Amino acid sequence: MRFSSTPRGARLARRLVCHRLDEWGYGYDSPLNETLTLITAELASNAVRHGRVPGRDFAVRLAEYPDALRIEVSDTRTERMPPAALPRPAADAASGRGLLLVAALADGWGTSPHSAAPGKTVWAECRPR
């Protein structure tokens, strides 16, 4: 689904993922729902903050595979890729911990070029326990 590149769009993306996971049998208070909802919030927030191109939306895709759930957030900015090695922010920094959180919570994450248009996709996978 596509969302406006605004804080409201990021919030709606997070809520949609939370509801869809509940529909798939991963209840609102289940660890997997909470983890993927938090990861979605971080990736959608990054798409709005760092991947925004005026007049362009970002997209969210949630997929269920036999061994994992995968969230993908795509934006249209190609020149701002997440760093391969995540830097540790200063202890008093107000931001810069989102991808560290994603890396800690997900079983795997990464980036790829957006297949349908210019841009990139940042993805994360979690295995049901």
Tell me, what's the pLDDT at 38?
96
The per-residue pLDDT for range 46-73, each reduced to its tens digit, is 888 877 777 788 999 999 999 999 999 9
Question: How far from each other are the two terminal CA atoms of the chain, in whole angstroms?
Answer: 27
Q: Domain with 67 in it: what CATH number?
A: 3.30.565.10
What torsion, rounded to 10 degrees, do the Cα atoms 110, 113, 114, 115 define?
A: -120
Domain of residue 90, residue span: 2-126
Tell me, what's the pLDDT at 93?
59
Q: How many separate domains does the chain show? A: 1
* Residue stretches of the chain with pLDDT short of 70: 79-87, 89-97, 116
Tell me, what's the pLDDT at 90?
64
pTM tops 0.85, yes or no: yes
Tell me, what's the pLDDT at 81?
64
φ/ψ of 102, rounded to 5, equals: -60, -45
